Amino acid sequence: MNWLEALILGLVQGLTEFLPVSSSGHLEITKVIFGDNSAPEESMLMTVVLHAATALSTIVIFRKDIAEIFKGLFQFRWNDEFIFSLKIVASMIPAVFVGVLLESEIEQLFDKQIVLVGTMLIVTAILLYFADKAKNTTKNVGYGHAIIIGIAQAIAILPGVSRSGATISTSVLLGIDRAKAARFSFLMVVPLILGKMAKDILSGEIMSSSIDIAPLSIGFAASFLTGLLACTWMIQIVKRSKLTYFAAYCFIVGIVAIIFSF
């Protein structure tokens, strides 16, 4: 993979991680357009690195919220910060369970499976459409909500299912306030991505990979910078109930991807 391809992949990841259009799906489509012949493990590594960049942009945008989460966890006081921290932990359980048990199977899904990507984009479109039609409420995220949203996040491991789209749509359909839904959606993924990066580093997968450091670095920087902009933009979009436009976009791209695969 050359630096230009890495740059474009980084821009795609940064823009689509927070917008409800499936970053993983767009990455796989972009790789196919480039004619990427990387092994599944190498392709997955680039995907993980780009997701780490957007996780870092989330940390920057929500640095005060994240500081409160850590404060709540370490103080062990039954206050709002501690309760919110427990909900974040609860939301992680389904994705951790799926990631640990099905890691090798998931890895194979990131090998230019364009029909799967297209189909899942259509599923994302349907979710976004119904979420946009849901009534606005001021409900907070409960423990049961956190588990259900966590299940949506676990399903969003599939390329083509938008993680932010699935988790925010699920939250809104559960009656949770839109701004709170977006905040919870963005915060709940940070521990998972950082945990995945730590696992890969400790296992030696990144150091033993044949992928050059330069393309990874370029992709990381592009993903981080565009992620900062997209994260801020997405919060405003959710508040204004503009998800239908993204539903239409996902549906069109999904159909085109399926047709293109044949």
Q: Measured between alpha carbons, how far is 202 from 236 in angstroms, rounded to an integer? A: 38
pLDDT at position 209 is: 52
Q: Tens digit of pLDDT for each residue in 237-260?
A: 877 767 888 999 999 999 998 998
Mean pLDDT value of segment 146-169 = 90
| Secondary structure (H, E, C), 109-167 | HCCCCHHHHHHHHHHHHHHHHHHHHCCCCCECCCHHHHHHHHHHHHHCCCCCCCHHHHH
For the cut 80, the answer to whether the pLDDT of residue 12 exceeds it is yes
**What are the CA-CA distances from residue 225 to residues 23, 33, 135, 182, 236 (Å)?**
15, 23, 33, 20, 18
What is the count of structural domains for the chain? 1
Instruction: Write out the two tokens for 207.
Output: 């150091």
Residue 124 confidence (pLDDT) above 70 = yes
Q: Residues 183-192, buried b or exposed e (16+ Cβ, 10 A)?
A: bbbbbbbbbb
Given a cut of 80, whether residue 70 has pLDDT beyond it is no
Predicted local confidence at residue 3, as pLDDT: 82
The DSSP bridge partners found for residue 176 are 139
pLDDT at 227: 92
Taking the C-alpha atoms of residue 235 and residue 179, their distance in angstroms, rounded to an integer, is 7
Q: How confident is the model at residue 102 (pLDDT cuts 50, 70, 90)?
A: confident
The answer on pLDDT for 145 being more than 80 is yes
pLDDT at 11: 93
> Would the pLDDT of 62 be above 70?
yes
| Residue 70: other Cβ atoms inside 10 A | 11
| Nearest 10 degrees: Cα torsion 47, 48, 49, 54 | 90
Please write the tens of the pLDDT for every residue from 169-185.
999 999 999 888 888 98
Residue-wise pLDDT for 198-235, tens only, equals 776 676 655 555 567 888 899 999 999 999 998 888 87
| CA separation for the pair 175, 141 (Å, rounded) | 9
| Mean per-residue pLDDT of the chain | 83
